[in-house]
Structure 1
Amino acid sequence: MKRTKTSQSGCPKATKIAKNEEPEKKVKEKQVDDVRIAFSDEIKKYKKLKLENGRKYDVKKVLGEGVFGIVFEVLDEKKQKLAAKMMKKTDEPPEIWKIELHILEKIATCPHENILKLISVEKVIDPPPFCTENVLFTNCLGPSLLDVITKAETLQGPDAHGCTFPVPQIRDIGRQMVAAFAHLDNLGIYHLDLKPENVYFVENGDFEIRNLRNKHLAIEMKDTKIQIGDFGCSKFHKEFESDVKPTVVQTQNYRAPEVFIGLPYSTKSDVWSFGALMCEMYTGMLLFYGTEDENSESTQFEMMQRVVGQYVNRAMFRKALLNGSDRVRKNNGILQRNTKKFDPTVPLHMNLKKFDFEAIPLFEMLKYVLILDPEYRPSFADVAKHKFFAQN
């Protein structure tokens, strides 16, 4: 299935799942961060970024917008291109945005070639409307994976069957993602929002579209170098994993099963998102999706189990209940009333194109990664050793 509105949303506000506990972030109605401001007249008229230290930047365009921030492309006085992320005004306590800052500072002390690096944090004299005075400067990267896919689908026209990537480029991009996330694990950081919007090509994102068998067109990038960005939903590891509270994290299409039922997230939650994204690059379609109604989450939760051919075990349900979760699904994790909400489910291996022998190791890797129980799901260090990534 192609993208739905659920796949376009940013990471959800981090609210506790367990009963009788206060949420980490108080969710109030009609907050500024619930509204998209990038295309407002006030933002369009904002052309100059003036800092307290006297520096000035020309604002060229909006690069993107998330739940808590908006990113501008700016030019400094030497005409060097940078990305400036402004924090939105919200009712959240100020330490919330500082979590992202501290995570970026941690990464800057031990940088990685596949992770976006913080240049500086500054204060703006006259910030854009709806924004605070806090701004984070990073290098300005090329388009995101989603930008490239969207552009290719536009070029392909309304009869598109889904834009895919050649297996060698999927391997190359995937290998870089695994390296980046293994590094984040070593730094003690959960990303918690891996999706096409947050994977950026370092260069300008030039590509060609060429024909593949079975009426599929392949996006062939001229340069596959990528970096992982957007740490607005990220968190530091706790000293003890038992200290992690059950919280709704990750964009729904890429959300791990344990999060759906009310178990704490872990490093393995990012691994699940990685698997869903890798399959999407091959098929050109979302691997998991919900519906456009109030049953969206339960529909996707059921679908995920059917796609991977596994069902959430009793041990996971027991742990969720002990955590006080009110999100536990009954009937062995399946809500039968939702089975007609989505298209007939295609098992994971059925997404392999006919006679595409080159992709067999890819699907062996996906089967290895997409394990419902995080206890048995591999880490990124394990995934890096899979034979799919050992090939040139």
Structure 2
Amino acid sequence: MQQNDQLSPGYGYEPPVFDRSTIPESLQLTNGERYSVRGLFGRGGFSTVYRAYQRITQDPHINLLSLHSSGKLINPPRGCSEDVIITEPCGPSIRDIMTRASMDAGYGQMATFSISDIKQIGRQIGEALFHLEKLQIYHLDIKAANVTFTNTNVKYKVDSNSTIPIITMSELQIKLIDYGNSMSHWAPGTARPMLAQPQNSRAPEVFMAIFTHQSGASQNEKQQSQFEYMVSTMNATIPEEMIEMSRHGRRCQLNFDFLKNRQENNNQDLLMNLMREDTDLPLFEFLKFVLIFNPTQRPSFEEVLNHEFLTNF
């Protein structure tokens, strides 16, 4: 805990554009706990995350963000509610590093990680999700912004001599964060309280309203476009039973007519076309193993962790 109310110089990976005057000097909970704010970690759709000095509790899992405390603020910042959740601190996210590294490389192409580093990071994400599975929790928002490096002072270098800028990290220990969309497993037939998953990381069965709430979808045109792109990228054949399930309750807003006019020879959107070079093939074979359109045929987390890509470093 900081002994005074002086702000730090800020956080090195703070969002590039924001009003620093909105950052409070400290946060005080109704239970008496007080935290000196060290900067802005980031803003999500439903919350603002600050960096603060705090006690750190023992991790329930090395790759999962642990809860330190929760309560209500005496002095909520402008535009925020009084509810607050205190967690252990984290370093920059994968998205933060890729964005900064791309800027360092001159924005020619998005910087990325080596296959070796992708394996190590992917293995840790799999371990975290497997642990959540044992706890009967769905995370539902896996993306680069929600995977952070553990060390708050982690460093990186960028090799700009290769075709695509390659990032080399000083260390690769990560944590999975942001449980704002997480839900517990539910009994079959239980109504969903809300639409699961942000659109950019939404599973096909969510788009098809097999896994959604009763009020239906929103932004139909955007969802239709993204769903068609997903089908094209995976070159997927949609099981008839999934289409039939999506029609139950008339909650699905998708139009499946595009399936009748698909150009089978048009492969410009195929997943395999994203390969940088032939050495990337093991990664894309792994993605094909994981990204199965029909949820009943997808591998379990245990099977994913036993895949050659995540075991052969």
TM range (shorter): 0.7 to 0.9
Q: Give TM-score scaled by structure 2 length.
A: 0.83
The aligned amino acid for 2:210 is L
Contact 2:64 2:175 in 1 (8 A): yes
Output aligned runs, 1:243-262, within 5 Å: 243-245=190-192, 248-262=195-209
The CA deviation string for residues 124-151 of structure 1, in whole angstroms up to 9 with x for no partner, is 2222122222221111110011111110
Q: How many residues align?
A: 289
1:43 pairs with 22, 26, 29, which one? 22
Residues 366/65 of structure 1: CA separation in 2 closer, same or farther (3 Å cut): same
Question: Which has the larger displacement, 303-312 or 179-188?
Answer: 303-312
Q: Give TM-score scaled by structure 1 length.
A: 0.67
The reply to whether residue 295 of structure 1 matches residue 221 of structure 2 is: yes
Residues 328/55 of structure 1: CA separation in 2 closer, same or farther (3 Å cut): closer
1:118 pairs with 60, 64, 67, which one? 67
Q: Distance in 1 between matches of 2:249 and 2:34?
A: 50
Output aligned runs, 1:236-315, within 5 Å: 236-238=184-186, 240-245=187-192, 248-264=195-211, 295-315=221-241
- For residue 166 of structure 1, report the CA deviation from its aligned partner: 0.4
Q: Distance in 2 between matches of 1:138 and 1:72?
A: 10
Residues 41/64 of structure 1: CA separation in 2 closer, same or farther (3 Å cut): closer
Output aligned runs, 1:314-333, within 5 Å: 314-331=240-257, 333=259
- SS in structure 1 of the partner of residue 297 of structure 2: coil
**2:293 equivalent in structure 1:** 372
1:130 pairs with 79, 86, 108, which one? 79
Contact 1:57 1:75 in 2 (8 A): yes
The reply to whether residue 60 of structure 1 matches residue 38 of structure 2 is: yes
Q: Distance in 2 between matches of 1:251 and 1:218?
A: 28
The CA deviation string for residues 310-342 of structure 1, in whole angstroms up to 9 with x for no partner, is 132211010111243232322264787xx9xxx
Output aligned runs, 1:124-273, within 5 Å: 124-158=73-107, 160-203=108-151, 204-211=153-160, 213=162, 215-238=163-186, 240-245=187-192, 248-264=195-211
- For residue 251 of structure 1, report the CA deviation from its aligned partner: 2.5
- For residue 202 of structure 1, report the CA deviation from its aligned partner: 0.3
The aligned amino acid for 1:329 is N
- SS in structure 2 of the partner of residue 331 of structure 1: helix
The aligned amino acid for 1:217 is P
Contact 1:246 1:259 in 2 (8 A): no
The aligned amino acid for 2:122 is G
- SS in structure 2 of the partner of residue 120 of structure 1: strand
Question: Which has the larger displacement, 324-333 or 363-372?
Answer: 324-333
Q: Distance in 1 between matches of 2:224 and 2:99?
A: 28
- SS in structure 1 of the partner of residue 36 of structure 2: strand
The aligned amino acid for 2:92 is P
**2:11 equivalent in structure 1:** none
- SS in structure 2 of the partner of residue 301 of structure 1: helix
Question: Which has the larger displacement, 198-207 or 347-356?
Answer: 347-356
| Structure 2: runs of 5 or more not aligned | 1-16, 213-218
Higher relative CO (CA 8 A, sep ≥ 6), structure 1 or 2? 1
**2:3 equivalent in structure 1:** none
- SS in structure 2 of the partner of residue 54 of structure 1: coil
Contact 2:26 2:36 in 1 (8 A): yes
Determine what percentage of the aligned residue pairs are the same residue.
32
- SS in structure 1 of the partner of residue 31 of structure 2: coil
**1:86 equivalent in structure 2:** none
2:268 pairs with 345, 349, 352, which one? 345
Q: Distance in 1 between matches of 2:100 and 2:257?
A: 42
Q: Distance in 2 between matches of 1:151 and 1:111?
A: 31
- For residue 73 of structure 1, report the CA deviation from its aligned partner: 1.0
- SS in structure 1 of the partner of residue 168 of structure 2: strand
- SS in structure 1 of the partner of residue 82 of structure 2: strand
**1:88 equivalent in structure 2:** none
- For residue 362 of structure 1, report the CA deviation from its aligned partner: 1.4
Contact 1:317 1:328 in 2 (8 A): no
Q: Distance in 1 between matches of 2:243 and 2:193?
A: 13
Contact 1:303 1:345 in 2 (8 A): no
**1:390 equivalent in structure 2:** 311
| Structure 1: runs of 5 or more not aligned | 1-37, 83-107, 266-292
- For residue 344 of structure 1, report the CA deviation from its aligned partner: 7.8
